[in-house]
Structure 1
Amino acid sequence: MAEASFLALGDSYTIGEGVPEEGRWPVQLVARLREHGVAVAAPYIVATTGWTTDELSSAMDAAGLHGKYGLVTLLIGVNNQYRGRSSVEYREQFLALLERAGKLAGDSRRVVVVSIPDWGVTAFAEGRDRAAIGREIDAFNAIAHDETHRAHARWVDVTTASREAGARPDMLVDDGLHPSARQYGMWVERIFPQALAAVRELPG
């Protein structure tokens, strides 16, 4: 059986800022899928710390992505929120990315959208308005959830997991902001069922 190709699109959370390669959640996800007998290739990751929606789009252009992927994941938006960019702009640009992801997957049901985690609960956010950060993250996630549902793609909430992890040292890397491999493992528990359905339920 041919391996399903896997494209992971995002920012620092997808590239795994501060964790070794094997700790990144897309890499952990592949290991989990393989444990369940799913033939899936190592992830091709298009993600860099700090990217916003438009920067990810430009990077996708530069990467010259083409063909059909068996699984595409998309997690983007925290830097839009961090930089104070508008929710109206986010909806427009997120939707464009989601449409591109669906085309690359050949079927929107092969696209798994992962929610934006809440960095307002981390040690890095000490002294900031944590409640306001949480509200803004929720607003961006509501947009992403709405557009994901409309596109018939798959949605996974990891925001709850990030809030459960909070500022615990074992759940963050040394910068006090980005998740540790252990926290990413919590995310994979939530992402795995949708990723499994995406690669198993649809014809190649």
Structure 2
Amino acid sequence: MKRYLALGDSYTIGEGVEFDNNFPNQLVRALNNEGVNIGLEKLVATTGWTTQELLTAIEADSFNAPYDFVTLLIGVNNQYRQKNTDGYAESFEACLKKALSFVANDIAKVLVVSIPDYGVTPFGKYDEITSLQVDDYNRINRGITAKYNIAYADINPVSKCAKDDTSLLVDDQLHPSAKQYADWVAIILPTALELLN
């Protein structure tokens, strides 16, 4: 069985949904349905983490590397706290290098996921400025990901559907519901299949 490591924050752990319905677990089920024998071996993610906090947690944890697949989704809390991109490029690249280290630097085993647009949510107060700031963060993480020739799954556009469909959010009116995570997985799955086959 292939071994999957998921790195991130609330969007990876699945704040507000059953653990089995976060996107890593939904992705595992979708991959298994496509004939890929893979399991989520480890998830390192906590609600509220910035890039630096993820790096600190990685340093304090233990890992049974190399893994066969790693996803990385991190940065929304940098934006939420700072409102600007200061330091994000450097710390995101450090996170990406850590992800690579867990797959013996095999770029074909890492997948970066974009930051969703929480500016369109009731919690985000339907704030276009927030949405534009998240776009700026995604331009940074996408550019760095491309520099390393690593795969990138852009779930940001589909996350914007939450503006008109509250069933895509959990009770806090911020985090994705299992339904929205299923939409993410539909976007992530084709690239994951390419990497894992």
Shorter-chain TM-score category? over 0.9
Residue 173 of structure 1 corresponds to: 170
Residue 101 of structure 2 corresponds to: 103
Which letter does structure 2 place at the counterpart of 1:91? A
- Output the CA distance in 2 between the equivalents of 1:43 and 1:195: 16
Which letter does structure 1 place at the counterpart of 2:63? L
User: Which whole-Å deviations, capped at 9, do the CAs of 1:129-162 have from their partners, x for residues lacking one?
Assistant: x111011101100010000001111101000010
CA contact (8 A) 1:14 1:47 kept: yes
Residue 121 of structure 2 corresponds to: 122
**What displacement does 1:89 show?**
0.4
Residue 61 of structure 1 corresponds to: 59
Q: What are the ranges of 5 or more consecutive residues in structure 1 without an aligned counterpart?
A: none
Stretch moving more, 99-108 or 26-35: 99-108
- Output the CA distance in 2 between the equivalents of 1:193 and 1:94: 24
**What displacement does 1:167 show?**
5.0
Q: What root-mean-square deviation, in Å, do the aligned CA atoms of Structure 1 and Structure 2 show?
A: 1.2
Residue 27 of structure 2 corresponds to: 29
SS of 2:161's partner is helix
Matched length:
196
- Of 180, 192, 195, which aligns to 1:195? 192
Residue 89 of structure 1 corresponds to: 87
Change (3 A) 1:167 1:44: farther
Q: What are the ranges of 5 or more consecutive residues in structure 2 without an aligned counterpart?
A: none
- Output the CA distance in 1 between the equivalents of 2:143 and 2:173: 31
- Output the CA distance in 2 between the equivalents of 1:167 and 1:42: 32
SS of 1:80's partner is helix
- Output the CA distance in 2 between the equivalents of 1:161 and 1:174: 19
Identity of aligned residues (%): 44
Which letter does structure 1 place at the counterpart of 2:107? S
Change (3 A) 1:153 1:56: same
Stretch moving more, 9-18 or 59-68: 59-68
Which letter does structure 2 place at the counterpart of 1:84? Q
